DNA sequence: ATGGTTGTAACACAA
């Protein structure tokens, strides 16, 4: 009997502001691997020493003000890849690394602002590039975990109000969901859905309109596991608690467990 | 439907 490997994803919306929350949550949840998004820190300012004190090594790719991703792990991360190979992008949205026998791809998917905008077009182009890359990545690394802030709610169960969050709305539009489906078609499975058929469980709540208090959320923070890992995936969930803390991120951490 | 809030930074922009 071995302890499962716990792998989590959390959009912290500024690691500078949220470091105390991250430390508290690492202590309580004891994940083995964590993908962070929206660190909003240049690499020189990344708090790797503080995280080492908590027992985690860090690899990271950041920039000032926007974006920024990192992978924390208890054991060393190897073969670190920043960005999507062959896709020019100034925005730091992607970091991948091998931890133990698992390849971890951490994505901060483009938000897209509104359907029909330039940013929406960039989101769809970006997702197409991710799809091509993951197809190749799976050949090299069959044991693949793709996690992150996907900025796409997979289906109507993953939104508080499907009438508002419909086929024409950002984060739920047909083209965005089609792009996500093409990742599923590579043999990647939404780990949460492997264990839960229920709806109404969310990972993100807008800061506005008291959305968290009213549980007006979306499930947009996902962990996809490859076919080779599907049978090992023993559980998945979302920790709502950090969203109740003072001055929280607008996202809650999502996690999966892999029997190793 | 528009505006609501947060973070960074700088009085706008992205989410």
Exposed (0-12), middle (13-18) or buried (19+): which is A173, by Cβ within 10 Å?
buried
Ordered structural domains, chain A, with CATH: 5-258 (3.60.10.10)
Conformation bin of residue A40: beta by default, left when phi > 0, alpha when psi is -120 to 50:
left
Q: Tell me what pLDDT residue A260 has.
A: 85
Q: Is strand B in 7 Å reach of the CB of A251?
A: no
The gap between the terminal CA atoms of chain A, to the nearest Å, is 9
Strand, coil or helix: what is A129?
Answer: helix
- Strand B within 7 A of A207 CB: yes
Q: Report DSSP letters for A80-114, one per residue.
A: EEES-TT---SS--EEEEEETTEEEEEEE----SS
* A45 CB below 7 A from strand B atoms: no
CA of A41 to C1' of B9 (A): 13
Per residue in A28-78, pLDDT tens?
999 999 999 999 999 999 999 999 999 999 999 999 999 999 999 999 999
Give residues with Cβ within 8 angstroms of A129, minimum separation 6: A84, A86, A87
> Contact, A219 vs A153, CB < 8 A?
yes
Nucleotide nearest to A204 (CA to C1'): B15
Residues 65-124 of A with CB under 7 A from strand B: 65-66, 110-111, 113, 119
* Whole-number pLDDT of residue A1: 61
Within 7 Å of a protein beta carbon, the nucleotides of strand B are 3-9, 14-15
Q: Write out pLDDT tens, residues A74-128.
A: 999 999 999 999 999 999 999 999 999 999 999 999 999 999 999 999 999 999 9
Q: What percent of chain A has pLDDT over 90?
A: 98
Token reading at A18: 């949220």
Region A1-25: mean pLDDT is 95
Q: What is the pTM of this model?
A: 0.97
How, if at all, do strands A5-11 and A33-37 pair? parallel
A114: which nucleotide lies closest, measuring CA to C1'? B15
pLDDT tens, position by position, A161-173: 999 999 999 999 9
Residue A43 CB neighbours (<10 A): 14
> Does strand B come within 7 Å of the CB of A14?
yes
pLDDT value at position A2?
Answer: 76
Quick: pLDDT tens for A215-255: 999 999 999 999 999 999 999 999 999 999 999 999 999 99
* Cα–Cα nearest to A145, from A196, A87, A97, A80: A97
Crossing angle (nearest 10°) for helices A174-184 and A118-140: 0
């Amino acid at each position: 009997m071995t302890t499962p490997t716990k792998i989590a994803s959390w959009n912290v919306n500024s690691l500078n502001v949220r470091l105390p929350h991250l430390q508290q949550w690492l202590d309580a949840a004891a994940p083995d691997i964590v993908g962070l998004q929206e660190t909003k820190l240049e690499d020189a300012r990344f708090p790797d020493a503080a995280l080492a004190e908590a027992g985690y090594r860090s690899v990271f790719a950041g920039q000032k003000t926007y974006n920024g991703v990192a992978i924390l792990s208890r054991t060393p991360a190897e073969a670190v890849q920043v960005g999507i190979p062959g896709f020019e992008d100034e925005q730091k949205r992607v970091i991948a690394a091998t931890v133990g026998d698992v390849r971890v791809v951490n994505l901060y998917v483009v938000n897209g602002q509104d359907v029909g905008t330039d940013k929406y077009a960039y989101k769809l182009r970006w997702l197409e590039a991710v799809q091509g890359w993951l197809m190749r990545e799976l050949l090299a690394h069959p044991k693949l975990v793709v996690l992150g802030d996907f900025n796409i709610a997979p289906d109507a169960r993953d939104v508080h109000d499907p009438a508002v969050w419909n086929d024409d709305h950002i984060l739920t539009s047909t083209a965005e969901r089609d792009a996500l489906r093409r990742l599923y078609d590579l043999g990647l499975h939404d780990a949460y859905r492997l264990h839960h058929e229920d709806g109404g469980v969310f990972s993100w709540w807008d800061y506005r309109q008291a959305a968290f208090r009213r549980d007006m959320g979306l499930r947009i923070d996902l962990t996809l596991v490859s076919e080779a890992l599907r049978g090992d995936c023993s559980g998945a969930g979302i920790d709502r608690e950090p969203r109740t803390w003072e001055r929280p991120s607008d996202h809650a951490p999502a996690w999966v467990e892999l029997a190793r």
